[in-house]
Chains A and B, each alone.
Chain A
Amino acid sequence: MTVTDRTITAPEEALALPAGPTIAHRPLGVFTRPQGSEGWASWLFTVDHKRIGIMYGAAAMFFFLVGGAEALFIRLQLATPNGSVIGAGTYNGVFTMHGVTMVFLVIMPMAAAFANYLLPLQVGARDVAFPRLNAFSFWCFLAGGLLLVSSIFIGGWFQNAPDGGWFNYAPNSGLPFSPSKGIDFYAVGLQITGIASLVSSINLIVTVLNMRTKGMSFFRMPVLTWMLLITQFLLLFAIPVITVALFLLMFDRLWDANFFNVAAGADPLLWQHLFWIFGHPEVYILILPAFGIVSEIVPTFSRKPLFGYHFMVASGIAIGFMGWGVWAHHMFTSGIGPLAVAAFSVSTMFIAVPTGVKILNWLATMYRGRLRFTTPMLYAVGVVSMFTIGGLSGVTHAIAPSDTQQTDTYYIVAHFHYVIFGGALLGLFGGFYYWWPKAFGYKLSEAWGKASFWVMLVGFNFTFGPMHILGLQGMSRRISTYRADEGFALWNMVATIGSFVIAIGVAMFLWNVYASTRKWQRAGRPDVGPDPWDARGLEWMTASPVPEHNFDSEIEVERLDEFWHRKYGVDENHRVVRTATAEEVAHDGSNTRVHLPSPSYWPIVLGGGILLVGYGLIYNMWLAAAGLVLLVGAIYGWILEPADDPDDAGHHDDHHDDGDDHGDPAGNGGPGGNGESASAEKPAKTEEAVPVG
């Protein structure tokens, strides 16, 4: 550790969160802030973006197991002709919940885990722009997720689960055709997770735009930061569209409105348009984070800078824009007319171009690189190859006559699993292996990691590869069984076996987490070092696991891949030589004088209020009213909470002594704090949370 600059007088002021001016302090007993950074309560009330990221990841993994179990039920039912493992009605619930869970409760929050953990680190910030809103995003997401998943159990096994497919077409979603509470759970649950995504997107956009460290211009940001930023913009604009659709659906079902009531003259195509105007950007919301992760992993393990950085960024932006102009390719068979079909065919073919640019740039990055096939690299290469297959079958959908034949067959199922599982999920798993040492301080076992990767990859191809054939043979999706004489039996059995191989791969990953943790603990928790992979981004420029305050002092960035350039230089023969070790360059996390935002009770209370409102809308308006009271109370509690930026100067000195506990300078009784009124950020929060609900 040679960085002596943390001895300069007050670096923490540069790092402190702008929390508005401090004004007179009037403590109100209940409106104190929780303290401490140890124990379970510290997780419930945390506003630390890293802990929130880890909670997002853990929750997503839980939902992944739920959604995976549902997938196995689907495959068991379809393993043999005339399957009778689960009935047709239950089957509808199982495949719907599988889709909803995997899209909204697994891939999106897993990406949010990386966004929360890494975005502030990659731009060199202390935390996100609004730490409490960040915590609220997580609790709100968890409320929506639990509400959705609880529908499986409430009132009997899959009796009240959503059963209209993940895109839930009208008028099938209406009360006459779907009288159970399932669609209500769908409409309410997804609105709640939508609020979470929206709040999170606002927060992260402001973080990236506003909290970049000195010198971190837009084109010095890592590609992952770029892709996550584009994802947040897509969320920002896509979420309100589905919110409108869900809102109308909820009004139809709960209060007898007519939006999708064909008997009253409604055109159910409205739902399809609203859903897919959201739904196609959503596809890129799912995949762009994985693209970003691959763009981090591939250069590190090729020991080359990313090929065509500007093209990578520009293609991501192009995808972000063009993603809005292709939604009707999901609707080629719905009678939207030849002109619309032709237009959307062409736009769909065009969007393959920026995606292809990315694939080629990754290949060019690897070309003549000194490749190291570690587990994260295997996953990244898996993404590049599997996503290419999925992307190519996607291009076949752009050809409308071909698509007309493929619509609602297993060919579609094969396609989107190749892009979502083979693209997004493999990328996110690669991210787990890559950033695990950064988040937890030890590497996952490479042996288990590689083994689980190959098992997962082989199982994946055996599961979804045959579905291309089944689809072209004409097997319809969402039908609970098939006859023996239809010729689907062989490949269905192969797919079922493949799905259980995937399950083994996932179990091996979980075992890897457990075994690697135990091994590390028994070995006395050795330090993995700040930079175990010889990587390039700023997140590696601090200790592992990342200390609560991220960086000891503000980093000044002078070029892309700043951290790498601080480790390497060029000698007189223009050869790249190592000039410093990571330990010399990175901060060791020993600065305990950095001001940190205080934990807060209110984000989780607000999430609880929203959960009550959700159940109340479905079952009992009195419950909703109680939830509303809690919600409004939480908002005012939030506003009246003492600002987290009380008198810095006096505080830091007496805090400095207790060393590791640098967590909470809340000073709820301190004389300089602000007891009554909000700091400038707070009134803005209230209406972010309210009107979208």
Chain B
Amino acid sequence: MTAETTAAEAAAHAEGHHDEGHHTSTGISNEKLAMWVFLGSECLLFGGLISTYMFNKGRIGPDDIGPDDVFDIPFTSVSSFVLLMSSLTMVFAVSSIARGDLRGNRIWLATTAALGATFVAGQVYEFTAFYSEGLGFTTNLFGSAFYALTGFHGAHVTIGIIMLMSLFVMSMRGNLGPERAETVEIIGLYWHFVDVVWIVIFTIVYLFPQ
């Protein structure tokens, strides 16, 4: 038995060298798997908030300020488009670092963060406009549910921007080489998830007939 184990370990050892640090049981790195698992959990988080919104959006009085009174669909469509484009630039960021194009990586990271920031700025503008039209967080159930859901999403985008900027700074300081392509990819997973969630929110909150 001893000899057999030793041989097996020697083989395992050799194998370990082959795939460079990726000796996990599934073949997916721990970090990437953790992000996938975390995003699974996030689905339920947004699921709960979206359900809450749908449950509550109609629970307002006849004279209350409601979705039809405040929504500016063209404006939000543009900011949604901006966020969608940021997913595209994120893909460019991931592919550029995978190719070893560090300068391109920096450019696309910065572009993605800028597009995300544009979206958040649009949200801030939108919130301000709604507020001035009389829809506050505490005004009615629609207000509470709307601000909680979209605000929560905005917070997610903001955290994504912070992570992208951190990557950008790392890259500027020479700490984000091609060997860290997967880090960018993992942040990218998060970023795409936040975008996909926005598509759902935009459809359900803005586009569904009220």
The answer to whether the Cβ of B60 comes within 8 Å of any Cβ in the partner chain is yes
Say which residue of A5, A212, A257, A691 sits within 8 Å of B148 (CB atoms).
A257
Do B175 and A677 have beta carbons less than 8 Å apart? Answer: yes
* Residue of A with least CB distance to B143: A258
Residue B48 at the A interface, CB < 8 A? yes
- In the complex, the answer to whether B167 meets A690 with C-beta atoms within 8 Å is no
For residue B19, give the distance in angstroms from its CB to the closest CB of chain A. Answer: 11
Q: B5 in the interface, Cβ–Cβ < 8 Å?
A: yes
Please provide the 3 A-B residue pairs with the shortest distance between their CB atoms, ordered closest to farther.
A244-B48, A677-B175, A240-B45
- Asked if residues A265 and B61 are in contact (CB atoms below 8 Å), the reply is yes
- B141 and A264 form a contact (CB under 8 A): yes
Whether B44 and A241, one on each chain, are in contact in the complex, defined by CB atoms closer than 8 angstroms, is yes
Interface members, chain B 33-51 (any A CB < 8 Å):
33-35, 37-38, 40-42, 44-45, 47-49
CB of A353 closer than 8 Å to a CB of B: no
Which of B8-16, B78-86, B123-131 is near enough to bind chain A? B8-16
Interface-central residue, A264, A554, A692, by most chain B CB under 10 Å? A264
**Does A5 contact B6, Cβ atoms closer than 8 Å?**
yes
Bound CA–CA A251/B49 (angstroms): 13
Q: How far is the CA of A556 from the CA of B8 in the complex (A)?
A: 7
Binds A, one of B105-113, B179-187, B202-210: B179-187
Render B1-35 as a binary contact track against A, CB cut-off 8 A, 1 for contact. Answer: 11001101110110010000111111011110111
Given known pairs A236-B41, A265-B60, the reply for A210 and B155 (CB within 8 Å) is no
With known contacts A251-B148, A266-B56, A677-B170, A2–B141 Cβ distance under 8 A: no
Please, how many residues of chain B have a CB less than 8 angstroms from a CB on the other chain?
66
Which residues of chain B are within 8 angstroms of A256 by Cβ–Cβ distance?
137-138
Task: Determine if B25 and A236 form an interchain contact, defined as CB atoms under 8 angstroms apart.
Answer: no
Majority secondary structure of chain B interface residues (helix, strand, loop or mixed): helix
Interface residues of A, Cβ cutoff 8 Å to B: 2-5, 8-11, 13-14, 18, 20-21, 23-24, 129-130, 198, 201-203, 205-206, 209-212, 214, 216, 236-241, 243-245, 247-248, 251, 255-259, 261, 264-267, 270, 274, 553-556, 566, 639, 676-678, 680-681, 683-684, 686-688, 690-692
Q: How far is the CB of A11 from chain B (nearest CB, A)?
A: 6
How far apart are the CA atoms of A241 and B186 in the complex, in Å? 24
The one of B9, B25, B144 that contacts A211, using a Cβ cutoff of 8 Å: B25
CB distance B38 to A680 under 8 Å? no
Of the listed residues B52, B143, B182, the one surrounded by the most CB atoms of chain A closer than 10 A to its CB is B52
From the candidates A20, A203, A553, name the one contacting B34 in the complex (CB within 8 A). Answer: A203
Whether the Cβ atoms of A214 and B6 lie closer than 8 Å is: no
**In contact, B137 and A8 (Cβ under 8 angstroms):** no
Task: Name the one of A4, A23, A198, A270 contacting B52, with C-beta atoms under 8 angstroms.
Answer: A270
As a 0/1 sequence over residues 150 to 165 of chain B, the CB contacts with chain A under 8 angstroms (1 = contact) are 0000011001100100
B97 at the interface (CB under 8 A from A): no
Given the complex, which residues of B lie within 8 Å of A266, measured CB to CB? 56, 59, 141
Cβ–Cβ contact B44 & A240, under 8 A? yes
Interface residues of B in 164-206 (CB under 8 A from A): 166-167, 170, 173, 175-177, 179-180, 182-183, 186-187, 190
Contact yes or no, A210 B12, CB < 8 A: no
Asked if B159 and A257 sit within 8 Å, CB to CB, the answer is no
Residue of B nearest to A20 (CB): B21
Q: Which of B23, B52, B144 has the most CB of A within 10 A?
A: B144
Q: Which of B26, B52, B140, B183 contacts A683 (CB 8 A)?
A: B183
When C-beta atoms are compared, the residue in chain A nearest to B40 turns out to be: A236
- Decide: A684 and B25 in contact? CB cutoff 8 A: no
Return chain B residues, CB-CB under 8 Å to A237. 40-41, 44
In this complex, what residue of A is CB-closest to B144?
Answer: A257
Q: List 26 A-B contacts (CB under 8 A).
A: A5-B6, A8-B9, A8-B10, A14-B12, A18-B23, A21-B180, A23-B175, A130-B34, A202-B38, A206-B37, A210-B24, A236-B41, A238-B44, A240-B41, A244-B48, A265-B61, A266-B59, A266-B141, A270-B55, A677-B175, A680-B180, A683-B183, A687-B190, A688-B34, A691-B42, A691-B159
When distances are taken between beta carbons in the complex, the residues of chain B under 8 Å from A206 are 30, 33-34, 37
- Indicate whether B94 reaches chain A with its CB closer than 8 angstroms: no
Q: Are B41 and A214 within 8 A (Cβ)?
A: no
Bound Cα distance from A101 to B24, whole angstroms: 37
B93 is an interface residue with CB less than 8 A from chain A: no
- Give the docked Cα–Cα distance between A234 and B159 (Å): 26
Q: Which chain A positions have C-beta within 8 A of B144?
A: 251, 257-259
- Bound CA span A245–B187, Å: 28
Contact partner of B31 (CB less than 8 A), chosen from A236, A265, A267, A680, is A680
Q: Are the CB atoms of A11 and B13 closer together than 8 Å?
A: yes
Residues of chain B within 8 A of A257, CB atoms compared: 137-138, 144, 148
Bound-state CA distance A10–B180 (Å) is: 26
**How distant is the Cα of A10 from the Cα of B12 in the complex, in angstroms?**
11
B26 lies within 8 A of A210 (CB): yes
B145 interface contact, C-beta 8 A: yes
Q: Which residues of B contact A247 (CB under 8 A)?
A: 148
Query: Footprint of A on B, CB under 8 Å?
Result: 1-2, 5-6, 8-10, 12-13, 16, 21-26, 28-31, 33-35, 37-38, 40-42, 44-45, 47-49, 52, 55-56, 59-61, 137-138, 140-141, 143-145, 148, 155-156, 159-160, 163, 166-167, 170, 173, 175-177, 179-180, 182-183, 186-187, 190
> Most chain-B Cβ atoms within 10 A of its Cβ — which of A2, A216, A566, A677?
A677
A686-B163 contact, Cβ under 8 Å, with A21-B179, A206-B30, A210-B25: yes
With a cutoff of 8 Å between Cβ atoms, the chain A residues found around residue B29 in the complex are: 18, 680
Name the distance in Å between A14's Cβ and chain B's nearest Cβ: 5
Chain B residues with CB below 8 A from A11, complex form: 9, 13
Report yes or no: A5 in contact with B5, Cβ–Cβ below 8 A.
yes
A554 to B177, CA, bound (A): 32
CB distance from B148 to the nearest CB of A (A): 6
In the assembled complex, the CB of B97 is this many whole angstroms from the nearest CB of chain A, namely 12
B33–A680 touching, CB < 8 Å: no
Complex CA gap A688/B16 in Å reads: 29
Whether the Cβ atoms of A265 and B40 lie closer than 8 Å is no
Is B9's CB under 8 angstroms from A14's CB? yes
Chain B's nearest CB lies how many Å from the CB of A280? 14
Return B115 CB to nearest CB of chain A, in Å. Answer: 19
A681 adjacent to B31 (CB under 8 Å): yes
- CB pair A18–B21 under 8 Å, yes or no, is yes
Q: Which residues of the other chain, B, contact A21 by a CB distance below 8 angstroms?
A: 21, 179-180
Residues of B within 8 A of A259 (CB): 52, 56, 141, 144-145, 148
Cβ-defined contact, A677 with B52, below 8 A: no
User: How close is B132's CB to chain A, nearest CB, in angstroms?
Assistant: 19
Minimum CB–CB distance from B177 to chain A (whole Å) comes to 7
Measured in the bound complex, the distance between the Cα atoms of B144 and A237 in whole Å is 24
